[in-house]
């Protein structure tokens, strides 16, 4: 049941990306083009995503288990450190330059976009490189 729920939630997320055209890198890049042909579409997607997310965090604050009986993670740390800032800058720079993020790439792969394949490959290389770097960092500490 847990896998089915995850599959349905991921499918709903992907459908939202497709319907809002967030798998279109040009639309996302248009959002970041503040002094050119600015496209505000992403603002509405962000607002639409934050409404159910806020309701979810309110629910999580009052419950210890999900509706399926799984343990819920705690509230994320509010600590702002260099790792958070660095990761945010890298994510934002990549998103702004390429117009794709991990979620939109996964949805784009279903349509066979070549750009998505290249991005997914680069993302996988980044995941592996970070894993190796992190394991070396923790082993040295």
Say how many C-beta atoms besides its own lie within 10 A of residue 31's C-beta: 19
Q: Range of 58's domain?
A: 2-140
Q: What is the pLDDT, as a whole number, of residue 141?
A: 65
* Number of separate domains in the chain: 1
Q: What percent of the chain clears pLDDT 90, i.e. is strictly above it?
A: 19
* Residue 35: its H or E element: none
**pLDDT tens-digit series, residues 28-55:** 888 888 898 899 988 998 898 899 989 9
Q: What are the distances in angstroms from CA 21 to CA 16, 62, 76, 103?
A: 8, 35, 29, 12
What pTM value is reported for the model? Answer: 0.70
Contact of 104 with 23, CB cutoff 8 Å? yes
Q: What is the rounded average pLDDT of the residues 46-70?
A: 88
Comparison of pLDDT for 88 and 113, the residue scoring more: 88
Q: What is the rounded average pLDDT of the residues 52-75?
A: 86
Confidence of residue 140 (pLDDT cuts 50, 70, 90): confident
Mean pLDDT score across all residues of the chain = 87
Contact of 39 with 31, CB cutoff 8 Å? yes
Q: What is the pLDDT, as a whole number, of residue 89?
A: 92
Say how many C-beta atoms besides its own lie within 10 A of residue 69's C-beta: 8
């Amino acid at each position: 049941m847990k896998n089915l729920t995850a599959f349905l939630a991921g499918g709903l997320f992907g459908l939202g990306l497709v319907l809002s055209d967030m798998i279109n890198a040009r639309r996302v890049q248009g959002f970041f083009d503040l002094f050119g042909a600015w496209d505000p579409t992403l603002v509405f997607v962000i607002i639409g995503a934050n409404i159910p997310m806020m309701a979810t965090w309110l629910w999580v604050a009052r419950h210890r288990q999900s509706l399926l009986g799984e343990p819920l993670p705690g509230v994320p740390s509010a600590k702002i450190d260099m790792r958070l800032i660095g990761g945010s800058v890298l994510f934002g720079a990549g998103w702004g330059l390429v117009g794709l993020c991990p979620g939109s790439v996964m949805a784009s792969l279903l349509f066979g976009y070549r750009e998505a394949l290249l991005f997914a490959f680069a993302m996988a290389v980044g995941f592996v490189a970070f894993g190796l770097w992190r394991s070396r960092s923790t082993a040295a500490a």
